[in-house]
Structure 1
Amino acid sequence: MNERIWIMGASEGIGAALAQAWAQRGAKLILSARSEDKLADLATTLGGAEIVPCDVADRDSLGRAAETIRAGGPLDRAVTLAALYDPGKVMEIDADRAAQIVTVNLTGSFNFARSAVPLLKTGGQLALTGSVAGYIGLPQGQIYSATKAGVTNLAETMRAELAPDVDIRLISPGFVDTRLTQKNDFDMPAIIQPEEAARAIVSGLDRGGFEVHFPRRLTLSLKLMQMLPYALSLRLTRRLVR
Structure 2
Amino acid sequence: MMTMTSTRPAKLAWITGASSGIGRALALKLVREGYRVAASARGQEALQALAAEANGAIIPFPLDITDSNAVLSTVARIEAELGPIDMAVFSAGSYVRERPTQFKAAKLRQMVELNIIGTGNCLEGVIPSMVARGAGKIGILASVSGYTGLPGGGLYGGSKSMLITLAEAMHPELAEKGVTLSIINPGFVKTPLTDKNDFPMPFLITAEEAADHIYTGMEKGRFEIAFPWKMVVSLKLLRLLPYSLYFAITRKMLRNDR
Residue 49 of structure 2 corresponds to: 41
Asked if the contact 2:18–2:41 (Cα under 8 Å) also holds between the matched residues in 1, the reply is yes
Shift of 1:122: 1.8
**Paired letter, 1:68:** R
Distance 2:62 2:129 in 1: 17
Residue 152 of structure 1 corresponds to: 164
Q: Highest CA radius of gyration, 1 or 2?
A: 2
Distance 1:76 1:91 in 2: 45
2:74 to 65, 79, 87: 65
Shift of 1:118: 2.3
Shift of 1:44: 0.6
Residue 181 of structure 2 corresponds to: 168
Structure 1, unmatched stretches of 5+, are none
**Paired letter, 1:112:** C
Residue 105 of structure 1 corresponds to: 115
TM-score, structure 1 as length reference: 0.95
Shift of 1:171: 0.2
Cα deviations across residues 138-171 of structure 1 (Å, max 9, x unaligned)?
0011311100000101111111332232111000
Residue 34 of structure 2 corresponds to: 26
> Is 1:11 matched with 2:19?
yes
Shift of 1:229: 2.9
Asked if the contact 2:182–2:221 (Cα under 8 Å) also holds between the matched residues in 1, the reply is no
Residue 143 of structure 2 corresponds to: 131
Decide whether aligned partners of structure 1 residues 183 and 85 sit closer, same or farther in structure 2, where only a CA change above 3 A counts: same
Residue 93 of structure 2 corresponds to: 83
**Paired letter, 2:86:** D
Asked if the contact 2:98–2:155 (Cα under 8 Å) also holds between the matched residues in 1, the reply is no
Asked if the contact 1:14–1:81 (Cα under 8 Å) also holds between the matched residues in 2, the reply is yes
For 1:226-241, list aligned pairs within 5 A.
Answer: 226-241=239-254
Structure 2, unmatched stretches of 5+, are 1-5
2:231 to 197, 218, 227: 218
Asked if the contact 1:77–1:126 (Cα under 8 Å) also holds between the matched residues in 2, the reply is yes
Decide whether aligned partners of structure 1 residues 162 and 68 sit closer, same or farther in structure 2, where only a CA change above 3 A counts: same
Decide whether aligned partners of structure 1 residues 164 and 91 sit closer, same or farther in structure 2, where only a CA change above 3 A counts: farther
Task: Name the SS for the 1:159 alignment partner.
Answer: helix
Asked if the contact 2:183–2:223 (Cα under 8 Å) also holds between the matched residues in 1, the reply is yes
1:207 to 220, 228, 231: 220
Cα deviations across residues 25-57 of structure 1 (Å, max 9, x unaligned)?
110110001111111110111112221111111
Task: Name the SS for the 1:87 alignment partner.
Answer: coil
Shift of 1:217: 1.4
Distance 1:46 1:93 in 2: 43
Shift of 1:91: 3.5
Query: Percent identical across equivalent pairs?
Result: 39
Distance 1:117 1:44 in 2: 30
Distance 2:182 2:150 in 1: 24
Moved over 4 A (4+): none
Task: Name the SS for the 1:7 alignment partner.
Answer: strand
Task: Name the SS for the 2:89 alignment partner.
Answer: strand
Distance 1:144 1:56 in 2: 17
Residue 177 of structure 1 corresponds to: 190
